[in-house]
Chain A
Amino acid sequence: MMRFLLLFSRQGRLRLQKWFTPMMDREKKKIIRDMTTMVLSRQPRTCNFMQWKDLKIIYKRYASLYFCLAIESQENELLALEVIHRYVELLDKYFGNVCELDIIFNFEKAYFILDEFLMGGEIQETSKQIVNRSIDASDMLQEDDSSEWYEVQLFG
C-alpha cells in the first residue's frame, strides 16, 4: 500500500499532505522535513526512486511542484510513478492546465479529487472518466445546495 503522498514546491513549501496510516504530528513533521531535503537535494536526471527506511520513495517533479509518494517495499515503483501521473492528469482535467496556485487556493478540491482516486493507500478507481464524472457530479450538488439531496446520475 501507499503510506503517504506529499506535494511541495521547489522551495520546500508543503502544498498537500495525505497520510494513509495514522501517525503522530511529530512524526509527520519529521517525515515532511526528511522528504523535502532528500528530494530537493537530488541531482537532475537521476532515477525517481529512493530507499528510505523500509519504504520506497517515488518522486517526480511537475513544473514547480514535487510529488512524493511513499510505498511499501513490495509495491511496484513504476506503477507508483504512474499513480502520481494519473493524479496530475485528474487535477489538470479539473482545473484546466493546473498550476501550483490552483492547488493552494483550492486545496480542499485537491483532497476531494485524491479521495476519489485513492483510498486507504490503495487505488480505488483508475478510470479518468469515472473519477472526473464523480467530481463534476459533486460540483453540481454544490451549485444546487439550496435543495435537499436529490437523485443525481453519477455514472450515466
Chain B
Amino acid sequence: MPAVSKGDGMRGLAVFISDIRNCKSKEAEIKRINKELANIRSKFKGDKALDGYSKKKYVCKLLFIFLLGHDIDFGHMEAVNLLSSNKYTEKQIGYLFISVLVNSNSELIRLINNAIKNDLSSRNPTFMCLALHCIANVGSREMAEAFASEIPRILVAGDTMDSVKQSAALCLLRLYKTSPDLVLMGEWTSRVVHLLNDQHMGVVTAAISLITCLSQKNPDEFKTCVSLAVSRLSRIVSSASTDLQDYTYYFVPAPWLSCKLLRLLQCYPPPEDGAVKGRLVECLETILNKAQEPPKSKKVQHSNAKNAILFEAISLIIHYDSEPNLLVRACNQLGQFLQHRETNLRYLALESMCTLASSEFSHEAVKTHIETVINALKTERDVSVRQRAADLLYAMCDRSNAKQIVAEMLSYLETADYSIREEMVLKVAILAEKYAVDYSWYVDTILNLIRIAGDYVSEEVWYRVIQIVINRDDVQGYAAKTVFEALQAPACHENMVKVGGYILGEFGNLIAGDPRSSPLVQFNLLHSKFHLCSVPTRALLLSAYIKFINLFPETKTTIQEVLRCDSQIRNSDVELQQRAVEYLKLSSIASTDVLATVLEEMPPFPERESSILAKLKKKKGPGAVSVTELEDNKREGGELNGGADRGPDSASTPSPSGDLLGIRAAAPIGAAPASAGSLLVDVFSEAGIAVSSAAVNDEGFLSSAPPSEDPAPPLSVADDLLNKFVCKNNGVLFENQLLQIGIKSEYRQNLGRMYLFYGNKTSVQFASFTTTVSCPGELVYSIMFLKFLNCCVQLNVQTKPVEPLVEGGAQIQQVLNIECLTDFIDAPLLNIKFRYGGGLQNLTLKLPVTINKFFQPTEMASQDFFQRWKQLSQPQQEAQKIFKANHSMDTEVLKAKVRLPSPICKPRHILHSPCIPVGCIVCVCVCPQMYRLTLRCSKDLVSQRLCDLLAEQF
C-alpha cells in the first residue's frame, strides 16, 4: 500500500481503498463494498457508542463508496452528528459528506441548519467558512430562508476576517441565484459595491462575482460600481508585473480579477462621465498594446492569462459597439490569432469574430478575413474549430460575398462531420434564400444541397424551395428544367424526387416544348424513380401524375394505365390505394373544365416567416441566431421583395422583412386606378399616403407601468399610435429601452393576420414573458372558446401563447388571426408581462386594428357613385369633418396622394362580417389648407368612427 496519506491519515480508510483497487472484477468490488457496508451499518447500530474518530472514518468510507457510484441510504444522521463536533477534522468530514450527498431532505436540513447556525455565530473563522461552504454547496431554499438575512451582515461587518468575507460573498451569490426573492440587498448595496475598493485582492475577486450578478439584475442600483471598476482595472493594468505579489499569475497581474472587472463593465453602457470613459479607453488600449509586446514567459500559462484578458477586453469593445477605432483594432488582433499556431486561440478568434461581424463598424473589417476563414474550414484538424469557422462564415455573409460563401459551405458539406451536417444544410439554405439576387442561383443551390447532403435536408428546406418557386413565376421554367436535369442522374436522392415531382407536376408544361423533355419523357423519368421511393413520396408522385393528366391530355392513357395496375389500385397502403382509385376515377369521369379547375396551378403561399429559419432557431436554442437575423433584416430590408412583381406604385413601401414570400401576397389590393377620368384618392391602400415616419417616438414610453399582476392601463399615447397605423400595416408599434415591438399585418375582406415581433433589446433574458390580447368587451379568448363566443363578439382574435423566455437580443414572433364579425370602435388591447431583472414589467398597448382595415375599395363610374351617395341620405348616416391639414399641403405630395386638384371622391364599399354588410362611401374635398371629409355609410356609428380615424391622416 502506498504511503500517500497526509495529515492525520485514516488507516482503515486507506486499507479499504486499497482493497477496492486490488479487486480483479466488478463482482469482487461489489462484494467488498457490501461487506464494508454491512460492517459500517452494524457499527452505527451497535450498542457501543462510537468515538468521533470512528464515526468520521466510517462516514468517510461511505462517502468513498458513494463516489464510486454506489447508492448510500444510511449514515446521514451520523454525518450530521459530526457537524456539532468540536474537532475540526470531524466537522470538516461531516460537512463534506453533506455537501456531496444531501439533497433537500427536509428532516435533515433542519438539523443541518442548526449546526450551521451555531458555526456561523461561533466567531471562529475556520468554522464559519465551513458553514458558508456548506450553504453554498447545498444551496436549498430552506437554507436560503434560514440564512439569507444573516449572510449580508457577515459580509459587510467591519470585524469579519477576509477569508470569511470571501466565503460570505460567494455564498450570498449562490443563494441569490437559487432564491433571488429572499436576498434583499437594499441597505447593503453601497457597502457591497465598495468591496471593489477592498485592500485584499482575494476579497475583491470574490465580491466582484456577486456584484456582477446583482448588477445584471438591478443595473440602476449598482450603477456606482462602474467608476470603481474602471479605476480598479486601471490600477491593475498599469501595474508592473511584480506589484501584486501572489496575485500575479505567470507575470500577468491579477488575470482573474481583470477579466471579472471587464465582465462587470459589460453589464452597462459606456460610462457617461468623460473622465471615466477616457480612463477606460486608455485601459483597453493598453491591453491591446500589450498583446503586441513580446511575451514575458514562454509558458502557455502566461499567454493564456494574457489573452484571456485580451478576449474579455474585446468582448467589452464589442459590447459598447461605439468606438470604431477600437473595434477595428480588435478585429485586426483577432485576425492575427486566426493564423496563430495555438489551436485554442484560433478557436476563440473565430468565436469572437462571429459577434464582431454583427457590428456595423467592424462588419467590413471582418469580411477581409474571408480567405483565412475559408481556409480554416478546409484545413483545420479539429471539428470544433471547423464548426466555429462555419459559424463565422455564416455571420459574415452578406450580399457581396454570399455566392462565394455558399459555394464554400456546399463544398465543405461533402466532407463535413455528420454531427454538424444538418445545421450546415439549414445555414446554406437560409443564406441562399436571404441573399438570392437571381432565383436561378437559389434553385441551383438548393438542388445542389439535396444532391450533396440529401439525407440532411429536412422537410423545411425542400418545402421552402417549392414555396419560392410557386411564388416566383420568373423562376418556374428554370426550376422545371433544372429538376428535370437533376432527375436524369441514375441515383438521385429521394428528396430530389419529391422536389422534382412537385415542380414538374406544376410547371412541367413550361419545358414540354422541347422534345427532349416532352410530357411522356417527363412522366417516364418520374415513374422510373417511383418504385424506389417511400410511401409519402409515392403519394406525392401520384398527385404529380394526375396533374400531368390535366397539363398534358396526351399522357392521359399512359397514366391511367399506371393508376389502374394492381400495384397501385390494390396497394396495401390505404393512402396510396385511395389516391390511385380517386385519381383514376377523376380522370375518367371529369370533364376537361372540371379537371382544369380541380387541378389548377397552386396558388401563391401566404407570407410567413421562413420555416427554415424557425428550425435553425429551434435547433440552436433561442437567441442563437436571432440577433444577427434582426440586424440582417434591417440591413437587407425589402431588397428581396422589391422585385419585379411589385406594383409600380408600391416602391415606396419596402416590406420590413427579408422573406422571399411576401411578394404576391402583399401586392396592393387597392392599387390606385390609372383611368384618366377617375376622381379618386386612395385613402386606404398602403401606398396611397406616406405617413410621416415608421419609428415611434419613444418619449413617454420609458416609464414602465408599476409592477402589478393586473394588466397595466393602456398607454396614454396609444391613440396617437393607433393613428399612425390607420393607413399603414407595418412598422414599429412600440419601443423602449427594453423592448421593441414590430408589427406586420395583412388584411383581406373580413380577415386579418398580424405578426407581432417582440425584440429583447437588452442582453438579459426576459422571463415569464406572456402576452394577452383582449378584445373590446373585456373577454380574453383562447382558441377553445372561440366558437361559442362568436355570437356576441365584434372581433375575433386568435393566437397561440408565446415562448415564456426571450433571450437577450432575441426576437420572438407571435401571429394573431383576426376576424371582424361586425363593426367595432375600440381596438383590441395587447397586454405584455415579463420579468426583467427582478421586476415585473407590465404594459398594455392598443393594437392597431381599426375598422378601415376590413374595407376593400371598389371602383365605380361617377354616376354609380353619385347614385349610391344619394341613397345614403339620412342625416345620421353622414359624418363630416372640416379641418386644417396636419401635413403640409405640398403640391408634389398632394399630387401623389390626390389625382386631381379639386373635389376628389373615392367610393368605397365595405366587406364585412358574414351577418352585417356595411357599405360606405367617402368623399374628400380639398380647399387651400383645408380638407373636407365626408362619409356616408349605412350604419351611422361606422361613418362617425371612420371619419374620426381618417381625419387624422391628412
Residue positions of A touching B, CB distance < 8 A: 1, 14, 16-17, 21-22, 29, 43, 45-51, 54, 74, 76-79, 81-82, 85-86, 94-95, 101-102, 104-109, 111-112, 115, 119-130, 134, 137-139, 141-143, 145, 148-149, 152, 154-155
Residue of A nearest to B387 (CB): A51
Instruction: Report the minimal beta-carbon distance from A26 to chain B, rounded to whole angstroms.
Output: 12
Instruction: Assess whether B171 is in contact with A155, with CB atoms less than 8 Å apart.
Output: no
Instruction: Assess whether B17 is in contact with A104, with CB atoms less than 8 Å apart.
Output: yes
B247 at the interface (CB under 8 A from A): yes
Report chain A residues within 8 Å CB of B166. Answer: 119, 124-125
Binary interface encoding of chain B residues 145-184 relative to chain A, with 1 for a CB under 8 A from any of its CBs, else 0:
0000000000000000111001100110110011000000
Q: List 8 A-B contacts (CB under 8 A).
A: A79-B305, A81-B344, A108-B60, A121-B174, A126-B257, A128-B246, A130-B202, A145-B89
Q: Contacts A120-B136, A124-B170, A148-B86 given: A79-B259 contact, CB under 8 Å?
A: yes
Q: In whole angstroms, what is the CA distance A143 to B312 when docked? A: 44
B621 at the interface (CB under 8 A from A): yes
Instruction: Assess whether A76 is in contact with B96, with CB atoms less than 8 Å apart.
Output: no
Instruction: Assess whether B381 is in contact with A155, with CB atoms less than 8 Å apart.
Output: no
Instruction: Assess whether A119 is in contact with B136, with CB atoms less than 8 Å apart.
Output: yes
Residue of A nearest to B306 (CB): A78
Report chain B residues within 8 Å CB of A143. Answer: 7-8
Which of B6, B17, B254, B384 interacts with A139 by CB under 8 Å?
B6
Report chain A residues within 8 Å CB of B305. Answer: 78-79, 82
Report chain A residues within 8 Å CB of B174. Answer: 119-121
Report chain A residues within 8 Å CB of B640. Answer: none
B263 at the interface (CB under 8 A from A): yes
B581 at the interface (CB under 8 A from A): no
Instruction: Assess whether A124 is in contact with B167, with CB atoms less than 8 Å apart.
Output: yes
Instruction: Assess whether A74 is in contact with B14, with CB atoms less than 8 Å apart.
Output: no
Report chain B residues within 8 Å CB of A74. Answer: 263
B650 at the interface (CB under 8 A from A): no
Near A by CB (< 8 A), chain B positions 345-379 give 346-348
Instruction: Assess whether B206 is in contact with A124, with CB atoms less than 8 Å apart.
Output: yes
Q: Contacts A78-B311, A119-B170, A120-B170 given: A104-B348 contact, CB under 8 Å?
A: no
Q: Contacts A115-B133, A125-B166 given: A76-B67 contact, CB under 8 Å?
A: no
Q: In whole angstroms, what is the CA distance A49 to B381 when docked? A: 14
Binary interface encoding of chain B residues 285-306 relative to chain A, with 1 for a CB under 8 A from any of its CBs, else 0:
0000000000000000100110
Which of A78, A95, A122 interacts with B348 by CB under 8 Å?
A78
Report chain B residues within 8 Å CB of A137. Answer: 126
Residue of A nearest to B266 (CB): A74
Instruction: Report the minimal beta-carbon distance from A100 to chain B, rounded to whole angstroms.
Output: 10
Instruction: Report the minimal beta-carbon distance from A139 to chain B, rounded to whole angstroms.
Output: 5
Instruction: Assess whether A107 is in contact with B64, with CB atoms less than 8 Å apart.
Output: yes
Near A by CB (< 8 A), chain B positions 362-405 give 381-382, 384-385, 387
Report chain A residues within 8 Å CB of B209. Answer: 1, 122-123
Q: Contacts A47-B385, A149-B88 given: A78-B304 contact, CB under 8 Å?
A: yes
Instruction: Assess whether B17 is in contact with A78, with CB atoms less than 8 Å apart.
Output: no
Near A by CB (< 8 A), chain B positions 274-322 give 301, 304-305, 307-308, 311-312
Q: Contacts A82-B304, A122-B209 given: A29-B384 contact, CB under 8 Å?
A: no
Instruction: Report the minimal beta-carbon distance from A147 to chain B, rounded to whole angstroms.
Output: 9
Q: In whole angstroms, what is the CA distance A114 to B87 when docked? A: 21
Q: In whole angstroms, what is the CA distance A62 to B608 when docked? A: 53
Report chain A residues within 8 Å CB of B173. Answer: 120, 122
Report chain B residues within 8 Å CB of A119. Answer: 132-133, 136, 166-167, 170-171, 174, 206
Report chain B residues within 8 Å CB of A54. Answer: 621
Instruction: Assess whether B88 is in contact with A145, with CB atoms less than 8 Å apart.
Output: yes
In addition to A46-B385, A50-B384, 7 A-B residue pairs with Cβ atoms within 8 Å of each other are: A46-B381, A109-B6, A120-B137, A120-B139, A120-B174, A127-B202, A145-B88
Report chain A residues within 8 Å CB of B92. Answer: 108, 112, 138
Q: In whole angstroms, what is the CA distance A115 to B167 when docked? A: 10
- Nearest 6 CB-CB pairings of A with B: A120-B174, A78-B308, A46-B382, A47-B343, A120-B136, A127-B246
Q: Contacts A95-B4, A127-B247 given: A122-B382 contact, CB under 8 Å?
A: no
B638 at the interface (CB under 8 A from A): no
Instruction: Report the minimal beta-carbon distance from A88 to chain B, rounded to whole angstroms.
Output: 11
Q: Contacts A128-B246, A138-B126 given: A77-B344 contact, CB under 8 Å?
A: yes
Q: In whole angstroms, what is the CA distance A122 to B139 when docked? A: 14
Report chain A residues within 8 Å CB of B413. Answer: none
Q: In whole angstroms, what is the CA distance A149 to B123 when docked? A: 12
Instruction: Assess whether A47 is in contact with B4, with CB atoms less than 8 Å apart.
Output: no
Binary interface encoding of chain B residues 108-133 relative to chain A, with 1 for a CB under 8 A from any of its CBs, else 0:
00000000000000001111000011
Report chain B residues within 8 Å CB of A123. Answer: 205-206, 209, 256
Instruction: Assess whether A130 is in contact with B384, with CB atoms less than 8 Å apart.
Output: no
Instruction: Report the minimal beta-carbon distance from B131 to chain A, rounded to whole angstroms.
Output: 12
Instruction: Report the minimal beta-carbon distance from B419 to chain A, rounded to whole angstroms.
Output: 11
Residue of B nearest to A75 (CB): B263
Near A by CB (< 8 A), chain B positions 909-924 give none
Residue positions of B touching A, CB distance < 8 A: 2, 4-8, 14, 17-18, 21, 60, 63-64, 67, 69, 86-89, 92-93, 96, 100, 103-104, 124-127, 132-133, 136-140, 161-163, 166-167, 170-171, 173-174, 177-178, 201-202, 205-206, 209, 246-247, 249, 254-257, 259, 263, 301, 304-305, 307-308, 311-312, 343-344, 346-348, 381-382, 384-385, 387, 621
Residue of B nearest to A136 (CB): B7
Instruction: Assess whether A47 is in contact with B346, with CB atoms less than 8 Å apart.
Output: yes
Report chain A residues within 8 Å CB of B178. Answer: 22
Q: In whole angstroms, what is the CA distance A152 to B127 when docked? A: 12
Instruction: Assess whether B126 is in contact with A112, with CB atoms less than 8 Å apart.
Output: no
Instruction: Assess whether B126 is in contact with A141, with CB atoms less than 8 Å apart.
Output: yes
Instruction: Report the minimal beta-carbon distance from A132 to chain B, rounded to whole angstroms.
Output: 10
Instruction: Assess whether B163 is in contact with A154, with CB atoms less than 8 Å apart.
Output: yes
Q: In whole angstroms, what is the CA distance A5 to B180 when docked? A: 25
- Chain B CB within 10 Å — which of A14, A16, A124, A141 has the most? A124
Q: In whole angstroms, what is the CA distance A86 to B304 when docked? A: 12
Which of B60, B202, B381 interacts with A126 by CB under 8 Å?
B202
Instruction: Report the minimal beta-carbon distance from B29 to chain A, rounded to whole angstroms.
Output: 12
Instruction: Report the minimal beta-carbon distance from A92 to chain B, rounded to whole angstroms.
Output: 13
Instruction: Report the minimal beta-carbon distance from B189 to chain A, rounded to whole angstroms.
Output: 20
Q: Contacts A77-B344, A124-B170 given: A112-B87 contact, CB under 8 Å?
A: no
Instruction: Report the minimal beta-carbon distance from B55 to chain A, rounded to whole angstroms.
Output: 13
- Chain A CB within 10 Å — which of B136, B259, B387 has the most? B136
Q: In whole angstroms, what is the CA distance A120 to B213 when docked? A: 13
Report chain A residues within 8 Å CB of B162. Answer: 155
Report chain A residues within 8 Å CB of B382. Answer: 43, 46-47
Instruction: Report the minimal beta-carbon distance from A50 to chain B, rounded to whole angstroms.
Output: 5
Instruction: Report the minimal beta-carbon distance from A131 to chain B, rounded to whole angstroms.
Output: 9
Q: Contacts A51-B384, A78-B344, A125-B166 given: A154-B126 contact, CB under 8 Å?
A: yes
Instruction: Assess whether B206 is in contact with A14, with CB atoms less than 8 Å apart.
Output: no
Q: In whole angstroms, what is the CA distance A154 to B126 when docked? A: 9
Q: In whole angstroms, what is the CA distance A84 to B492 when docked? A: 51
Q: Contacts A46-B381, A141-B126 given: A109-B139 contact, CB under 8 Å?
A: no
- Chain B CB within 10 Å — which of A123, A130, A139, A142 has the most? A123
Q: In whole angstroms, what is the CA distance A86 to B174 when docked? A: 23
Instruction: Assess whether A105 is in contact with B202, with CB atoms less than 8 Å apart.
Output: no
Q: Contacts A76-B312, A126-B202, A155-B163 given: A108-B63 contact, CB under 8 Å?
A: yes
Which of A50, A79, A104, A139 interacts with B256 by CB under 8 Å?
A79
Report chain B residues within 8 Å CB of A16. Answer: 67
Report chain B residues within 8 Å CB of A82. Answer: 249, 255, 301, 304-305, 308
Q: In whole angstroms, what is the CA distance A128 to B301 when docked? A: 15
Instruction: Assess whether B93 is in contact with A108, with CB atoms less than 8 Å apart.
Output: yes
Report chain B residues within 8 Å CB of A22. Answer: 103-104, 138-140, 178
Instruction: Assess whether A49 is in contact with B256, with CB atoms less than 8 Å apart.
Output: no
Which of A43, A49, A122, A124 interacts with B202 by CB under 8 Å?
A124
Instruction: Assess whether B7 is in contact with A102, with CB atoms less than 8 Å apart.
Output: no
Residue of B nearest to A49 (CB): B347
Instruction: Report the minimal beta-carbon distance from A46 to chain B, rounded to whole angstroms.
Output: 4
